[in-house]
Amino acid sequence: MRTTLLIAVIGLLACPQFSRARDYTVSVCGTGHVVAQREYDPLSSDDALGLAHVELGLELEEVLPGLSLEIAWESGIHNGNLFPKDDPWLHTDLLMHGIVLSAAYRLPVTEWMNAVGRVGGTLDFAELQIREDGDTLLSDWANARLGVQGVIGVEIFTPRNLLRKWFKQNPGDPDEGFTVGLRFEVGWSYKQAFVYDEMNEPAPEDEEIAKRQITRTPIDLGGIHLDGFIFRAGLVVFF
């Protein structure tokens, strides 16, 4: 799956048409997941998972007007308390990194707004840590997991000709060229389960000490699905 995806991207980039100057976008957003799975309950009291989302989009007009290929890096950490009662003492940190490769289709609605639909695949890595105050009691990385996500939303931006006017430039194509705006989208994300079956106390940094340690038998905490409703909002710059 991953190999096929990579070959497709490389193939697309190798096309002669791809060498022409094209519009591209850069976005910096926040993604909010609402993770309703029961497995997530131990890690969070509010079902929320927030991620920073940085995305680069390349227009593929030669394939279909309005179509873009986008690649994004998502990263975030979610802190929770487990068994807090009156005095939180046991903390959970879920650190996620992921790549999102998606196809976006933009439909201009007005000269200051696009309707957008995105469908993509995700590849995520996530570390789970369980800490008591400053000490990490258990931690483990879950192997890369694949997923899919689909969102729909809008991009609201400064009309390009207005921007040209501000910068004392001649009016041009209202659908092409530099502008800045905001994007808002909602959708659904599905990810394969992150499995934490090798939870262990982190090894000492000193390798010699680590070598001398008594063998640890890891603990299986089980797996967690991070599926659910997502919403994303942020800044988008069109070039």
What residues line the site for another protein (CB under 8 A)?
A: 34-39, 41-47, 82-86, 89-90, 130, 132, 137-138, 152, 186, 188, 196, 199-201, 212-217, 219-224, 228-229
Residue that has been written with the tokens 């990263």 in this structure: 75
CB of 194 to another protein, least distance (A): 9
Find out whether 71 and 100 touch, Cβ atoms under 8 Å: yes
Of 100, 76, 98, the closest CA to residue 150 belongs to: 100
Residue 87 or 173 with smaller CB distance to another protein: 87
CB of 114 to another protein, least distance (A): 16
| Rounded-to-integer distance, Cα 71 and Cα 55, Å | 6
| Rounded-to-integer distance, Cα 31 and Cα 231, Å | 6
Residue 171 or 222 with smaller CB distance to another protein: 222
CB of 85 to another protein, least distance (A): 4
Residue 83 or 167 with smaller CB distance to another protein: 83
Residue 196 or 238 with smaller CB distance to another protein: 196
CB of 182 to another protein, least distance (A): 19
CB of 20 to another protein, least distance (A): 36
28: its two tokens: 């910096």
- The secondary structure of 151-198 as a DSSP string is EEEEEEE--HHHHHHHTT-----TTSS-EEEEEEEEEEEEEPPEEE--
Residue 49 or 69 with smaller CB distance to another protein: 49
